[in-house]
Structure formats: structure tokens, C-alpha cells
Amino acid sequence: MAKKSTPHKPASSKTTSKKTSRQSSSSLLTWLVLGVVAILVLYGIYQQITYANRRNVRIPEIDVQQAYEKYQEGVFILDVRQPEEWNEGHIPNATLIPLDQLAQRVNELPRDREIVVVCRSGNRSREGTLILLENGFKQVSSMAGGVTDWSAKGYPLVQGP
């Protein structure tokens, strides 16, 4: 038994117009998404290059013994920890400026004195030292080992604000 063939009906111009409009919108959206992705990828590459360049700066670092000797001579001690950490124990006469505020508050620091930057273990103090170097400070160093090693050596700490 042979099937009857039905003549093919051409799509109306109204249907074709809707399809073309949807395809155009879809294509535009695809290009827009691809453009945003490309921008984000380029921004990520830029950030990695900037981060790598910052890390090529030599950060002056001293050990806890050297920091204690400088402390006894009256060096400016900058603590970049958070207030809660500071309250648990900090070096007497140190100044607290949390690392996340340091770049905006560098004008509060003396440019005519040597500064030793401290934190809990030595990581944030390296970042703080880098921020100061990038802002034109010349006499600045990071204390390796941080307040943890300072305390282990039996050097003075005070608690509270």
C-alpha cells in the first residue's frame, strides 16, 4: 500500500520571521556571553601578572632576636593583625593597623623612623611590609615568626586593648 504524499506547505513569512528573530537573539546572547568570558579571562591573566610582579620585590625580613634588639632601641613596631588577635597579646608600645586597612592608613605611620611589621606568624607582616615599600617607605622590615615566636622567646607581651 502506497502512502499518499502530502504536498509540503511553505512556512508563512510570519513563522520565518519569528525563527530568524529568535536565532538572532540567541546568537547575540552567545556572543555577549563569550565576550564577558573573554574579558574575565584577560582580567585574570592581568591579575596573575600583577601578583607575580609584586612577588619579585625583595622583602626585608629580620628574625625575632633582631626585632627584639631593635625594639629595645625604640623602633616603631607595626602590628597588622586583627583587633581580636591584638587583644590576646601584643608587643608593648606597638601600633595596630590591620592589614586590610593598611594601604588606606599609611599616612598615619612615621616616614622618618625604622618600622618593623609584625603579625602572628610572619605571613601578613610580609604583605604589610610590601604595602609600605610600595608606598615609598625605605626603612621597613618584616619580623619572621611573628608574635608566636616572640612569645616563645619570652619577650614581653601585653593583653587587652
- pLDDT truncated to tens, each residue of the chain (161 aa)? 555 555 555 555 555 556 666 677 778 888 888 888 888 777 776 665 555 455 567 899 999 999 999 999 999 999 999 999 999 999 999 999 999 999 999 999 999 999 999 999 989 999 999 999 999 999 999 999 999 999 999 999 999 88
Give Cα 84 to chain centroid, integer Å. Answer: 21
Contact 59, 52 (CB under 8 A): no
Contact 153, 68 (CB under 8 A): yes
From CA 83, how far away is CA 159, in angstroms rounded?
Answer: 11
Neighbours of 78 (CB within 10 A): 25
Indicate which residues carry an active-site annotation: 119
| DSSP, res 77 | E
pLDDT in tens, 129-160: 999 999 999 999 999 999 999 999 999 999 98
